[in-house]
Amino acid sequence: MMVSILIFAVLLIGGLGFFSWNVWKVRSNIFLGKKLDRSDNKMERLKTMLLVAFGQQKMFRKPIPALLHLCLYVAFVITQIELLEIFADGLTGNHRMFRPALGGFYTFMVSFIEILSVLAFIGTIAFLARRNLLKVPRLVKSELNGWPKLDANLILIAELTLICFIFMMNGADEVLYRQGASHAANLGDGSLGLTFSQWIGPALFGNMSVDTLHTIERIGWWGHILMVFGFLNYLPYSKHFHIVLAFPNTWYSNLEKKGKFTNMASVTAEVKLMLDPNADPYAAAPVDTEPQRFGAKDVGDLTWKNLLDSYTCTECGRCTAACPANQTGKLLSPRKIMMDTRDRLVEVGDGIRKNGKEFDDGKSLLFDYITEEEIWACTSCNACVQECPVNIDPLSIIMDLRRFLVMEDSKMPSELAGMLTNIENNGAPWQFSPADRLKWAEEE
């Protein structure tokens, strides 16, 4: 018994410790981004988080996948209650430690968890079929080839395995209870009365010996907790980290109207100075900022919220499916923008931890990961922002990459060059003098 407790304690400390280390790395990567104040409107932010992250509000624009996702989501949340008992059992050597005290309520809760587990099993099968058999268009785009596709399938297979372990444990327990042979003390005999295990257990394990049943129950118990620890430490390497990050990401959502773009404070101050007839052109600049790059070339030029967005992306592809540029065959995929940002951020973060703050591998997010063709294909319509289930903003990254190309590298499509020249010379996109603007009204 003591050996079992010791093994569990080592797994618990090691699993939580490694997870905490990975969370620290993700956090440090995110804060490589520029500062951004999102501390305002706390009640509005709470409402947004509860509706979008907790309430899955935006998921239900597509009812069928939303219901399937809801099965997995609710099962994941509620089954955490059972983990409390498993942790208590593992550290004390007991089995179903809470059953004597909770009585009928315990049976109700575990039965409810079984119902959710069956629904999650059905949802998981459906998601595997959508990806691998039905091949839903947004789930088979080129950016998902290789690791992203494997990652999605691995996590779904892991969920199926976890559910099987749960029913191995409960089913074997059911038969043991009926035989009065449970290895847990003071729990009596009879039946656990669980929704599905009272039928599954006797059907699968009814003719087995007590020793075999004990072995199956232990395999189910240990398999369950090992899958939990494995899943926990797999999350930071997977797109499924959105399970954790969806809540802070929606809390820090951009609450401004979607058509409002940001301006650099230093540029805004200079423009205001130029437009103020009473300003002293030789006075010190009103904004005390360090020299900074116009726009973004690499992940360090983006805000920490942009980088949090990249880690929160679940690669569902709703943004890409709604993108008019992608629909017409353009190279742009908002999902790929987020995936590329995350991949580059991981690369930069690992490089800095290994080589120090001056790490420079000669690569950048723009050019090496995201091409000029991709970002100029964007129509800035905000469809991707509108569709994202967790309020990710790919457009913000695209606009900063564009800003760098125009203001730092003086690169832009030829179609835009004439328009910008006209704005500079005439104050409008058209090739007419400002004095001639109203001549159209003179024509009768």
Q: Assess whether 214 and 198 both reside in one domain.
A: yes
Q: Assess whether 194 and 339 both reside in one domain.
A: no
Answer whether residue 226 is part of any domain.
Answer: yes
Q: What does the buried/exposed string (b/e) look like for 411-433 if buried means 16 or more CB atoms within 10 Å of the residue's CB?
A: eeeeeeeeeeeeeeebeeeeeee
Eight-class DSSP state of 207:
T
- Residue 232, C-beta contacts closer than 8 angstroms, at least 6 positions apart: 15, 16, 19
Average of per-residue pLDDT values in the chain: 90
Confirm whether pTM is higher than 0.85. Answer: yes
Q: Assess whether 227 and 299 both reside in one domain.
A: no
Answer whether residue 367 is part of any domain.
Answer: yes
Highest mean pLDDT among 57-71, 178-192, 321-335, 411-425: 321-335
Answer whether residue 285 is part of any domain.
Answer: no
Q: Assess whether 68 and 50 both reside in one domain.
A: no
Q: What is the pLDDT of residue 276?
A: 82
Q: 3-class SS at 89?
A: helix
Q: Assess whether 212 and 79 both reside in one domain.
A: yes
Q: Assess whether 76 and 184 both reside in one domain.
A: yes
Answer whether residue 150 is part of any domain.
Answer: yes
Q: Assess whether 69 and 54 both reside in one domain.
A: no
Answer whether residue 324 is part of any domain.
Answer: yes
Q: Assess whether 214 and 79 both reside in one domain.
A: yes
Structure tokens at 249: 């990401």
Q: Is the pLDDT of residue 196 over 80?
A: yes
Q: Is the pLDDT of residue 189 over 60?
A: no
The values of phi and psi at residue 34, to 5°, are -75, 155
What amino acid is encoded at 142 in this protein?
S
Q: Assess whether 162 and 300 both reside in one domain.
A: no
The CATH code of the domain that includes 342 is 1.10.1060
Q: What is the pLDDT of residue 314?
A: 93
Residue 2: band (very low, low, confident or very high) from pLDDT cuts 50, 70, 90:
confident
The residue among 210, 238, 266 that closes a domain is 238
Calculate what percentage of the chain has a pLDDT beyond 70: 95
Which residues constitute the domain of residue 147?
62-238
Per-residue pLDDT tens digits for 306-333:
999 999 999 999 999 999 999 999 999 9
Q: Assess whether 45 and 98 both reside in one domain.
A: no
Answer whether residue 298 is part of any domain.
Answer: yes
Q: Assess whether 106 and 172 both reside in one domain.
A: yes
Answer whether residue 269 is part of any domain.
Answer: no
Residue 180: band (very low, low, confident or very high) from pLDDT cuts 50, 70, 90:
confident
The DSSP H or E segment spanning 74 is helix 63-78
Eight-class DSSP state of 221:
H
Which of 225, 155, 234, 218 lies closest to 11, judged by CA?
A: 225
**How many structural domains are present in the chain?**
2
Answer whether residue 277 is part of any domain.
Answer: no
Q: Assess whether 120 and 78 both reside in one domain.
A: yes
